[in-house]
Amino acid sequence: MKSSVHSSFRTIKKRIRRILSVFLSAYMLGISNVVLEEDRMINDTGVKTEQREVQDEDDAH
C-alpha cells in the first residue's frame, strides 16, 4: 500500500514537472518573439533548406 502511494505521488510529481517545463519553455519563447519581433512556435525546428542536385543532360546515363 505504501509503495503504491509513493509510486503514484512520484508519477504525479513527474507530470507536474513536465507541464511546468512546457509552460516555462512556451513563456520564454514568447518573450523571445516579442524581443526579436518573430512568430516562432514551440515545435518549430528552424529554417529548412532544400538542396537540389542538378544533372547535366550528358550525365543522364
Is the predicted pLDDT of residue 59 greater than 80, yes or no?
no
CA 33 to chain CA mean position, Å: 15
pTM exceeding the 0.85 threshold for the entire prediction: no
Nearest to 29 by CA among 16, 15, 46: 46
pLDDT at 57: 75
Is the predicted pLDDT of residue 16 greater than 90, yes or no?
yes
